Chains A and B, each alone.
Chain A
């Protein structure tokens, strides 16, 4: 069973703060890692997919890095806004057909 850990479980920040979360996964048989954003009362939406060690992806104020050798990925949000409030999920893909999600980091951004 693929063990995916995300930390912290939840995070409360003020508008304008920058923040980051961690996703840890087994480094063996790595194929790709996905980050999803899941807003309340909506369905998860893909943010990034990363495949190579050292990959760095950016979308607006959100960026992510990947270290496949040590089995972790960071998601950064610069200058958090209330609309960034959501649960951020990571999902490593080990090349099989399962896509297992971490429990997520729930971000609350206060105006």
Chain B
């Protein structure tokens, strides 16, 4: 158990809909990362937050947004969903104060868009 909690584990929805994925980082970790893994693809970096502030952005679509709240949990919002958004979405957290950058991953949220 990495200590990172993601909900929901599975989600099935229709095209055009909007969903929110939630992540609770390990206790004490200030950084949260979101990654997308599509079928047979590697981990694609989406976005990273540190202590409530956005710090880095990857190839995140404009239809997607995220935020990190004062209690450090994070949400990834996916809107106007398309079939191609079906993927496994991972959240990871790290303690940047250690400067090693080691990431601890949640179990992922599997999104299926029909």
Chain A residues proximal to chain B, CB less than 8 Å: 31-32, 34, 36, 42-46, 49, 51, 89, 91, 93, 96-104
The segment from B12-20, B61-69, B71-79, B102-110 that touches chain A is: B102-110
Q: Which residue of B lies closest to A31 (CB)?
A: B101
Chain B residues positioned under 8 Å from A101 (CB to CB): 35, 42-43, 45
- A93 B106 Cβ-Cβ under 8 A: no
Chain B residues proximal to chain A, CB less than 8 Å: 2, 31, 33, 35, 41-43, 45, 48, 50, 55-56, 58, 90, 99-108
Chain B residues positioned under 8 Å from A46 (CB to CB): 102-104
- A98 B56 Cβ-Cβ under 8 A: yes
Q: Could you write out 21 A-B pairs with CB less than 8 Å apart?
A: A31-B101, A32-B100, A34-B102, A36-B103, A42-B107, A43-B108, A44-B103, A44-B105, A46-B102, A51-B100, A91-B103, A93-B101, A96-B56, A97-B31, A98-B58, A99-B45, A99-B101, A101-B43, A103-B41, A103-B42, A104-B42
